Amino acid sequence: MPSSTHTVPAARVLPEPADLPAPLPEPAPAELRLETVLGALSDPLRLFIVRKLLLESERFDHPCSWLGIDRPKSSLTHHYKALREAGLIRQRQYGLERRSHVRVADLNDRFPGLLDLVAAWEPPATP
């Protein structure tokens, strides 16, 4: 069992103040499809996004601009939407900002070990 030692923090989810904005439309945990999730992660930029959200910010939602990716906003919107529709991230609207975090609990439950692979990934260069 290679993925028995999880380096990814399990559901260290934030103490939700319960007045959070509702998440944007996303697939339910039972609807997550492995081939869709893998396809979403096959893009290096999206893999970078998920890994950064996973490693550096499990506790907080972060706006799209937080990642510091030098791409047009419309490109980032495209990738965030792809990640959300694949079920990898959850997005909430905070005023003008749309903050995202990885659905760690759902993904660990449905695809155990997957996030460990993402966390262990080494980006080839600066995307």
Residue (of 70, 77, 73, 88) closest to 29 by Cα position: 88
Residue (of 52, 66, 46, 62) closest to 101 by Cα position: 62
For the CA atoms of 67, 69, 73, 75, the dihedral, rounded to the nearest 10 degrees, stands at -110
Asked if residues 52 and 18 have their Cβ atoms less than 8 Å apart, the reply is: no
Closer residue to its own copies (CB): 17 or 124: 124
Q: Report the partner that residue 23 touches, choosing among DNA, its own copies, none (CB closer than 5 to 8 A by kind).
A: none
Closer residue to its own copies (CB): 49 or 98: 49
Site track for its own copies across 82-121, x = CB under 8 A? --------------------------x--xxxx-xx---x
User: Can you give the binding site for its own copies, defined by CB under 8 A?
Assistant: 1-3, 33-36, 38-39, 41-44, 47, 108, 111-114, 116-117, 121, 124
